[in-house]
Amino acid sequence: MLDSAISIFTAGRNMARLGEGLWITLKISLSSVGLSVLLGIPAGLLMSSKSRFWRAVLRFYLEFIRIMPILVLLFLLYYSLSSVFNINLPATFVSILVFTLWGTAEMADLVRGAVTSLPKHQWESGRALGLKETQLNLYVIVPQAVRRLLPGVINLTTRMIKTTPFVFFINIPDLVKVAQQIVEVAGLRNNLASVWVYGFIFLIYFAICYPISLYSNYLEKAWQT
Amino acid sequence: MLDFGFMARCVPLFVKAAELTVKLAFWGIVMSTVLGLICALIRYWKIPVLQRLIGVYIELARNTPLMIQLFFLYYGLPRLGLLLEGTTCAIAGLTFLGGAYMAEAFRGGLNAVGRSQIEVGMSIGLKPSQILRHVVLPQALAVSLPVLTATAIFLIKETSVFSIVALPDLMYVAKDLLKEGHSTESNILLVLSYLVIILPVSLIFGWLERRVRFAGFGY
């Protein structure tokens, strides 16, 4: 039984192809997380600012993104953007765009939560000490906010990795698509191909996400003060 | 310009698909909640062996994508002799994923119920089952509710991948209609369908959360 598994993974370039698929998966998810963090911080600061206008706009954005399945957003941007504006965007670009739109919303909410959860006296004590606004932000607010933020950001990373299989629907050769192609070919001769290949990528996802979520749990406990 | 005639013709298709999506999501959420509660209680009572197994299950389910779980259930299991049809497979997959998230949600609530609450219950002569029903669960539920409802909405959104197990759900219909070249129209209907499903649920849950916010006394 085990050789049927070995034969699939050693056949042709199957292992290398899975590696390439994994690379695409990681590339898309990690660039989306990176961009989400970059864009989510200013968005979150705006959400916790005094400006009513920005708070309302971002609230609406956040709620809309939260309510829509990400797959729907992916369809919307991939298929409708091209027909409405007559531009054809590469699938990878669209997927990173959609995941970033989602990630930014989540990140903004995390930042808002981290900033508003800081007690007011932190600002007041800083000012009382005569810190300038930039010093206050740099030395008092940011370090504390980052501590509250980091577990959430790490969590967002695993969620992003678990969301990337959606790119399967717009035909990007990610890990899932490659696995499906391998099963299609190997399944003709090998009865258990689907069990081995899907089982294998199940474990790959687990092997990537589990350590990350362990680390996030650890940070959450270690920094719980 | 939008082709409204086309949209009108598509509406029945979307309504039918939405019914399927709602049905699958409903059963998936109900089963997830039951499974999650059972798992959470087993861990709460620290039943040996079983609690270990459930710990493994929760980590496996929470750290892998639903799509892969479904692929395995739908294409893998029949080869091992267990044939599941699309609907069963979809509900089983959603329950596998959701049960783990629900268990974590319940755990937070159960742990928030103070030790003294249980001791007081014991001292007035309640049986363990009565303590669970009348003391622990109501308080735990009030604490867990925000996470439970967030999980339920997350699960409704996760139903969007069910077309990979050949179920004619909303995404399936939208993808099918792409062939007719009216992607904008069908996508608008797709977005509206999900809004109609999720928005009321989200509003009701929001109302529920406000209702129980003050019920979580005793800790």
In this prediction, residue B201 carries a pLDDT of 94
Q: Smallest CA–CA separation between A44 and chain B, in Å?
A: 20
Contact B167, B85 (CB under 8 A): no
- How far from A98 is each of A49, A164, B56, B174, CA to CA, in Å? 26, 11, 32, 18
CA angle, A148 then A41 then B213, to 5° = 50
What residues of chain B lie within 8 A of the CB of A209, using their CB? 63-64
Whether residue B52 lies inside any domain: the answer is yes
Of A84, A195, A206, the CB nearest to B76: A195
- How far from B96 is each of A168, B31, B54, B112, CA to CA, in Å? 21, 9, 12, 25
Number of other CB atoms surrounding residue A87 within 10 Å: 8
Residue type, A182: I
In this prediction, residue B22 carries a pLDDT of 95
Of A72, A176, A198, the CB nearest to B190: A72
Contact state of A176 with B67 under an 8 Å Cβ cutoff:
yes
Whether residue B162 lies inside any domain: the answer is yes
Whether residue B72 lies inside any domain: the answer is yes
Contact state of B67 with A84 under an 8 Å Cβ cutoff:
no
- Specify the pTM: 0.89
In this prediction, residue B218 carries a pLDDT of 40
Average pLDDT, chain A: 88
In this prediction, residue A211 carries a pLDDT of 95
Of B65, B75, B191, the CB nearest to A76: B191
Of A83, A169, A198, the CB nearest to B72: A198
Contact state of A198 with B60 under an 8 Å Cβ cutoff:
no
Whether residue B114 lies inside any domain: the answer is yes
Summarised one tens digit per residue, pLDDT across range A88-126 is 788 899 999 999 999 999 999 999 888 888 888 888 999
CA distance B29 to B201: 12
Contact state of A179 with B71 under an 8 Å Cβ cutoff:
yes
Of A72, A165, A199, the CB nearest to B191: A72
Contact B145, B211 (CB under 8 A): no
Contact state of B71 with A199 under an 8 Å Cβ cutoff:
no
Structural domains of chain A, ranges and CATH numbers in brackets: 2-222 (1.10.3720.10)
> Which token pair is B161?
């991948």
Contact state of A168 with B164 under an 8 Å Cβ cutoff:
yes
Whether residue B217 lies inside any domain: the answer is no
> Which token pair is A205?
């996802």
Is the pLDDT assigned to residue A12 strictly greater than 80? no
Q: Tell how far CA A135 is from the center of its chain.
A: 31
A22–B contact, CB cutoff 8 A: no
Long-range Cβ pairs for the range B140-144 (8 Å, 24+): B140/B106, B140/B109, B140/B110, B140/B112, B140/B113, B141/B109, B141/B212, B142/B109, B142/B212, B142/B215, B142/B216, B143/B108, B143/B109, B143/B112, B143/B113, B143/B216, B143/B219, B144/B105, B144/B106, B144/B108, B144/B109, B144/B110
Residue pointed to by tokens 């179920």: B167
Summarised one tens digit per residue, pLDDT across range A35-92 is 999 999 999 988 888 888 988 999 999 999 988 999 999 988 888 877 777 777 888 9
In this prediction, residue B215 carries a pLDDT of 59
SS (H, E, C) chain B: CCCHHHHHHHHHHHHHHHHHHHHHHHHHHHHHHHHHHHHHHHHHCCCCCHHHHHHHHHHHHHCCCHHHHHHHHHHHHHHHCCCCCHHHHHHHHHHHHHHHHHHHHHHHHHHHCCHHHHHHHHHCCCCHHHHHHHHHHHHHHHHHHHHHHHHHHHHHHHHHHHHHHCCCCHHHHHHHHHHHCCHHHHHHHHHHHHHHHHHHHHHHHHHHHHHHCCCCCCC
CA distance A72 to B200: 18
CA distance A43 to A58: 7
Q: For A205, which residue in chain B has the nearest alpha carbon?
A: B64
Query: Which CATH number does the domain housing residue B69 bear?
Result: 1.10.3720.10
Is the pLDDT assigned to residue A202 strictly greater than 80? yes
Contact A80, B183 (CB under 8 A): yes
Alpha helices for chain A (secondary structure H)? 2-10, 14-47, 52-67, 70-75, 81-85, 91-116, 121-128, 133-135, 142-163, 175-186, 193-222
What residues of chain A lie within 8 A of the CB of B199, using their CB? 67
Question: Which structural domain, as residue segments, surrounds residue B101?
Answer: 4-212
Residues 162-221 of A with CB under 8 A from B: 162-166, 168-169, 176, 179-180, 183, 191-195, 198-199, 201-202, 205-206, 209-210, 213
Question: What's the whole-number mean pLDDT along residues A122-149?
Answer: 88
Number of domains in chain B: 1
Whether residue B218 lies inside any domain: the answer is no
B40: nearest Cα among B159, B127, B143, B157: B143
A130 backbone dihedrals φ, ψ, rounded to 5°: 85, 20
Question: Which residues in chain B come in under a pLDDT of 50?
Answer: 217-219
What residues of chain B lie within 8 A of the CB of A69, using their CB? 157-160, 194
Number of other CB atoms surrounding residue A199 within 10 Å: 16
Query: Model confidence at A142, in pLDDT bands (50, 70, 90)?
Result: confident
Is the pLDDT assigned to residue A154 strictly greater than 60? yes
